[in-house]
Structure 1
């Protein structure tokens, strides 16, 4: 049985450590796929990574994009702009990623899932992680790296 290789892969980034491993894995494992590096900007009323609480929306979006650019530049052999594009989206990752997959005809999602527990009270109590939420809600295959 032939295995179908994905044509479009989404690599979401939330500003957490070691997410660059998901990008590196994707570029090496799927050398012919187009990659979308999606910088997800968490709304101000949602749990956040440190540093972004008091910044305005446009500043937070630009900072997320700049972080994604640095991640891309840090790859041993940076790919062409035609192969990897950077996009941003605002919202809770568990909602944004599945919606982005559906709206943009994405075939596969690769994300770094270690220590991705939600810092919200419900998430802590239920043990729900961002990665688990993305898997539950995304209509395409999801690879989680730990």
Structure 2
């Protein structure tokens, strides 16, 4: 299916950021990270979604240093990009790096808070998870 998608993509007279990002995402989902990355760097225009798709692919493939380098290069970072990084680090047990990113986030949402709490819990740091959970109540439920 990805071969057919690529054939259609290659014959498109006009490609936009959505079509490019779709091809990158398809390659990421098929585990074809090298192809995804090659397409990503060929993209004439990238948006925060494009960057985040590639970032997620790198994290899923265990390329944490490359993901961090890409994250640092991102011209615009939104809460989704931060959350993907935080979740990726938590999944791998890299809680210090996750917390560093979490703390520098300009804005957090309930998903980001939950990712951090779950990360601490999964890695046996229930005491820290509980403290963070209590902070969530104060921050999110604040009148």
Provide TM-score, normalisation by structure 2.
0.26
Provide TM-score, normalisation by structure 1.
0.26
Q: Larger Rg: 1 or 2?
A: 2
Q: Which has the higher contact order (CA 8 A, sep 6+)?
A: 1
Identify the structure with the greater strand proportion. Answer: 1
Identify the structure with the greater helix proportion. Answer: 2
